[in-house]
């Protein structure tokens, strides 16, 4: 156990993130965070000057983790196949695989939570979220361009919005999953996205 | 202008809904609603006993309007073609058409907003949202079953989650649209959903 307070900081952040995804940022009081994290007010304010500072730290951490999933799975997909279409399909399947292992509905996306309370946050937080979504778009668009050059799509599609579609699937599926309390929604919807890419680009459709 | 107070009630509801989609339910105080709707506290509490009662009225109204869009567009699609696959594609295109006409990002979905503050609402509100999403699933699944019988899908797909996918597209696209402040995201994503259905079911793909 580290003695520099990093575990306390982490405990505060974990408790706050869970509470925000259940009740939103406005209704998540510092007192409730203290109670959930089992820390004192003094140690909370030692780590975070304000609730807004905590919000920033949470969005930074969430974005970092999210981008590491993006880059990690792109990297793994490139290792698993040399063919760009296979890389694309494997990339989506890797997320599907993780989502299928869920036994509880995914607690939700911090970006979506912030988006529905957007007036409460400053411009810097908004920028982190925008930059995060743009990174997904850019990285996946690049792969899509390579795929589309080698495997001309069956329908005329816009590659930027096709790249955005995976973010749309995650965000939308989290909401449907939370509403129905069904942990399998995210995996099912990722499968539909993968099917769409397969039908758009795979040359050997009729042979199946 | 009706003199029975119905226009005041409506003004309160419109102001509250707009505020909730910008800052969430917890941060939307009665005072702010009064200010935005230009009504007195007395007339607010004449119409709504509590903020929770207002939340219920809003979710009921939102659901009613949403289901009227669902049923209206299903009805129109059935009028426009006798072929079930064409009905399905037209159904999606009608929503795409409305979304394409947006000049501002869609302000968001009240259900999604509630979903990210779900601890603040009682079971009845949760039920309205669940029932609403289930109605979409049921109605679209029925049409999908008829389509799949006449036009066997190219890939083995689960029709329930394929029906859910339109809800996923709306919810996810609202979030991406709000984040990027880009009104065209919803139409673009509906187009991808329509493409997917087309590629799954249309028998004459290779002829294009």
**Model pLDDT for residues A53-95, shown as the tens digit of each residue:** 999 999 999 999 999 999 999 999 999 999 999 999 999 999 9
Q: Mutate which of A154, A179, A193 to test chain B, going by most B C-beta atoms within 10 A?
A: A179
Q: How sure is the predictor about A204, in pLDDT bands with cuts at 50, 70 and 90?
A: confident
Same domain, A12 and A98: no
Q: Which residues in chain A have their CB less than 8 angstroms from residue B26's CB?
A: 23-24, 26-27
Of A22, A164, A189, the CB nearest to B185: A164
Query: Between chains, do B111 and A179 touch, taking CB under 8 Å as contact?
Result: yes
Predicted pLDDT of residue A203: 93
ipTM of this complex > 0.85?
A: yes
Same domain, A80 and A174: yes
Domain CATH number, residue A41 = 1.10.10.60
Query: Between chains, do B120 and A154 touch, taking CB under 8 Å as contact?
Result: no
The torsion defined by the Cα of B146, B152, B158 and B164, in degrees rounded to 10, comes to -50
Distance CA A203, CA B112 (A): 38
Same domain, A155 and A64: yes
Q: How sure is the predictor about B27, in pLDDT bands with cuts at 50, 70 and 90?
A: very high
Of B116, B172, B173, the CB nearest to A24: B116
Predicted pLDDT of residue A2: 52
Same domain, A60 and A31: no
Helices A159-180 and B159-180, axial angle in degrees (round to 10): 110
A186 shares contact with chain B (CB less than 8 Å): no
Same domain, A43 and A64: no
Task: Taking residues A120-130, report their average pLDDT.
Answer: 96
The torsion defined by the Cα of B139, B157, B85 and B207, in degrees rounded to 10, comes to 170
Same domain, A77 and A44: no
Q: What is the CA radius of gyration of chain B?
A: 20
Query: Between chains, do B195 and A192 touch, taking CB under 8 Å as contact?
Result: no
Q: Which residues in chain A have their CB less than 8 angstroms from residue B199's CB?
A: 154-155, 196, 199-200
Structure tokens at B111: 């259900």
The torsion defined by the Cα of A143, A149, A152 and A153, in degrees rounded to 10, comes to 30
Same domain, B103 and B3: no
Same domain, B148 and B172: yes
**Model pLDDT for residues A14-25, shown as the tens digit of each residue:** 999 999 999 999
Same domain, A12 and A96: no
Query: Between chains, do B189 and A112 touch, taking CB under 8 Å as contact?
Result: no
Same domain, B145 and B179: yes
Distance from CA of A1 to the nearest CA of B (A): 33
Same domain, A26 and A82: no
Of B108, B129, B165, the CB nearest to A179: B129
**Model pLDDT for residues B37-75, shown as the tens digit of each residue:** 999 999 999 999 999 999 999 999 999 999 999 999 999
Domain CATH number, residue A200 = 1.10.357.10
Predicted pLDDT of residue B158: 97
Say how many residues make up chain A: 208
A1 is in which domain, residue-wise?
A: 1-48
Same domain, B76 and B7: no
* pLDDT at residue A159 greater than cutoff 80: yes
How many folded domains does chain B comprise? 2
């Amino acid at each position: 156990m580290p003695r520099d307070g990093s575990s306390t900081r982490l405990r505060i952040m974990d408790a706050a993130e869970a509470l925000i995804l259940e009740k939103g940022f406005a209704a998540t009081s510092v007192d409730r965070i203290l109670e959930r994290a089992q820390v004192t007010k003094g140690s909370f304010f030692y780590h975070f000057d304000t609730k807004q500072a905590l919000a920033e730290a949470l969005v930074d951490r969430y974005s970092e983790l999210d981008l590491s999933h993006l880059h990690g799975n792109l990297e793994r997909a490139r290792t698993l196949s040399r063919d760009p279409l296979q890389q694309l399909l494997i990339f989506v399947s890797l997320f599907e695989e993780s989502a299928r292992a869920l036994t509880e509905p995914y607690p939700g996306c911090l970006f979506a939570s912030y988006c529905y309370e957007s007036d409460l946050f400053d411009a810097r937080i908004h920028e982190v979220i925008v930059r995060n979504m743009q990174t997904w778009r850019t990285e996946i668009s690049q792969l899509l361009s390579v795929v589309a050059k080698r495997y001309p799509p069956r329908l005329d599609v816009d590659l930027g919005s096709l790249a955005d579609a995976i973010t749309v699937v995650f965000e939308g599926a989290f909401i449907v999953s939370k509403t129905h309390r069904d942990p399998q929604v995210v995996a099912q919807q990722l499968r539909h996205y993968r099917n769409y890419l397969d039908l758009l680009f795979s040359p050997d459709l009729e042979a199946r």
